[in-house]
Structure 1
């Protein structure tokens, strides 16, 4: 009974799209607690593998830095706990509880259902408060739906982070459908719905990654089929794509066009947008990195960024209305801990890749999440770091094989 409850908690880890941060943390803690109890009560001598320590590198990296710097920022350390907890519980779970490919399939399916359910809840919540004609409306190139649910729902998930859930669910479906030809009906419907919601949230990086993923997976599928089947796959994909994108053509067009029209326009007063603010952020980050001490700025990095905004753009209000971090996790690592810190973290990512490359799904998801870090501090927020640690640990410790995904 204890093992069954613990296995259930492992599957519940996949409900992250549905849960507020504190509820999600409670499930993680419960899963860790039950896993440890199961190991202690097992007649076998269950211990984590030595290799698992390498997967915990980021936690110890941040912990040691905070100890040596003397700041001991509780928020920084607690935010990195998923790097410690997920590899540990999945290692022990795989050894003692039978957390295997079967559990992996159930967990990924639970994640897809959770993402779909949350998307539907967003739609219902929106339509209860707004007329239908506002569903595809936008303001200042930002979808009204996206802004409304992000600002008014009972708990906040940044639109890019929720879009990353949509991207992961889409990727699971498209690979299972086109590469492994399994669960066709569900995965076809889910993939279409995920594309619809990705377009609705209009996160540019997520959209680009979705298109790139689709092209790669379609390419892998086309290599295995006859010429007639290739024509059917390509033509049907183009047709479905046109149908899905048609309602969003104006909104998506404006979002993509903004990159070229606004990139050289300076922020001033009340005038700023997602494109020119990122230029400002990059310029300030670049200037800080040129002057960065050997061990970085530590927890003062955000303060240094805010000072840069204030000194160089005193007439703008963009940094006064909300806080803007580096919006690039790799630059954040250099600014926080210096080049040695960054190189160590890159070695960790390479080790994760080496462990995940046995799984096509694992490799695609890993590169997607790493790409999001180019435009977001994805691994500096709860939903980003939990999603990353959850997916990497799940795939690594269930030793997913291509035919078993």
Structure 2
């Protein structure tokens, strides 16, 4: 009896440590989130026996190696990097830690995964409210207008692109639950979605609107197929959202904010990516420049095309696929694409519409941002990918819902 109680308590602690990794991510600073990850890793060491971890890991060994390959390629890249210190800082350790922890424990149920997503959505709403509260206080005390997208990011203490990713994932998760909730819970979700759409308006992130239009279009198509049991009201709401989202591009305020965004113009992005490709072609095409040297010479490439803003702010590739080429060459790009398609295939074949829509957000955002080069994107992508694959690979998972 005592052993069962101890195991139950350990399961509860482990689950809440998992939750804290997601819950702390939308809030300012990274220290608390990093501490939660360390606490999770330490607790995992004593969570179960080595033999049990090994047994569980074998069940997901394919997914483990595909995810962790993005860590091992960074280790390999160290061997041919001249800037070893930068290379150490660029190691993608979460691609080893999260799949190792998540795949080596007893299965995480779909219900638990849904609870994790709900907690993340709540945390995102609270972080947005905190940022909005700061902006209102500063405005009330005549300390400046912090509702402008870059200034709003200052009160959030998060990059606009990454917080917009948090918001998009939260919107999709909350909207997905509309089909299953009734009464007050449904209205809470509708209010939360409306608020988060307003936050996206403040952030003025074009890629977020592009993703939401795509996600809404896909869910609408599914809603009118035999695979979706959504009510006519929910289907109507999806169509309305599909109409409203593109209109947001036409609002004068949003157009003004987007026009002031650095490297927002498509011609400038193409110019930027062209310089990145030129820089890549000067390096080792197969293996890239290495974990520490990926950005070497990039500023010089920007200077050659007189891209002053990129030179001043030392832009990265603003595209994760190109970033892989710079650092790890064709091999690095193949490993990233293999992970994306493996995850997409598993989620699609196991009929996981919510997980699939959320995962597509990473696929889309990677075209506009090097999301694995910052803490927020790296942690969220590696964590959710591991969780989604672990949950989707379970047998008889449908019985748990």
Query: Which position in structure 2 is the counterpart of 1:376?
Result: 369
Query: Which position in structure 1 is the counterpart of 2:5?
Result: none
Q: Which runs of 5+ in 2 are unaligned?
A: 1-8
Per-residue Cα deviation, 1:314-372 (whole angstroms, up to 9, x for no partner): xx642354120111111111122211222233223222223333211122112211110
Q: C-alpha separation between the residues in 1 aligned to 2:84 and 2:330?
A: 21
Deviation of 1:71 after TM superposition, in Å, equals: 4.7
Tell me, yes or no, if structure 1 residue 364 matches structure 2 residue 351. Answer: no
Contact persistence 2:302–2:311 (CA under 8 A): no
Contact persistence 1:362–1:392 (CA under 8 A): no
Deviation of 1:73 after TM superposition, in Å, equals: 4.2
Greater mean alpha carbon deviation, residues 118-127 or residues 231-240: 231-240
Query: Which position in structure 2 is the counterpart of 1:125?
Result: 134
Q: Residue 186 and residue 92 in structure 1: after superposition, are their counterparts in 2 closer, same or farther (change >3 A)?
A: farther
Tell me, yes or no, if structure 1 residue 63 matches structure 2 residue 75. Answer: yes
Q: Residue 194 and residue 245 in structure 1: after superposition, are their counterparts in 2 closer, same or farther (change >3 A)?
A: farther
Query: Which position in structure 2 is the counterpart of 1:140?
Result: none
Contact persistence 2:21–2:36 (CA under 8 A): yes
Q: C-alpha separation between the residues in 2 aligned to 1:337 and 1:43?
A: 35
Q: C-alpha separation between the residues in 2 aligned to 1:214 and 1:20?
A: 32
Deviation of 1:306 after TM superposition, in Å, equals: 0.4
3-state SS in 1 of match to 2:346: helix
Deviation of 1:122 after TM superposition, in Å, equals: 0.7
Tell me, yes or no, if structure 1 residue 145 matches structure 2 residue 154. Answer: no
Q: How many residues align?
A: 377
Contact persistence 2:41–2:101 (CA under 8 A): yes
Deviation of 1:125 after TM superposition, in Å, equals: 0.3
Greater mean alpha carbon deviation, residues 78-87 or residues 323-332: 78-87
Counterpart of 1:351 (choices 329, 342, 350) is 342
TM-score (norm 2): 0.81
Deviation of 1:243 after TM superposition, in Å, equals: 11
Deviation of 1:273 after TM superposition, in Å, equals: 5.2
Deviation of 1:62 after TM superposition, in Å, equals: 1.2
Deviation of 1:45 after TM superposition, in Å, equals: 7.0
Counterpart of 1:197 (choices 191, 195, 199) is 199
Q: C-alpha separation between the residues in 2 aligned to 1:161 and 1:234?
A: 30
Q: Residue 20 and residue 225 in structure 1: after superposition, are their counterparts in 2 closer, same or farther (change >3 A)?
A: same
Contact persistence 1:63–1:77 (CA under 8 A): no
Tell me, yes or no, if structure 1 residue 296 matches structure 2 residue 291. Answer: no
Contact persistence 1:199–1:245 (CA under 8 A): no
Q: Which runs of 5+ in 1 are unaligned?
A: 138-142, 263-271
TM-score (norm 1): 0.81
Aligned alpha-carbon RMSD (Å): 3.6
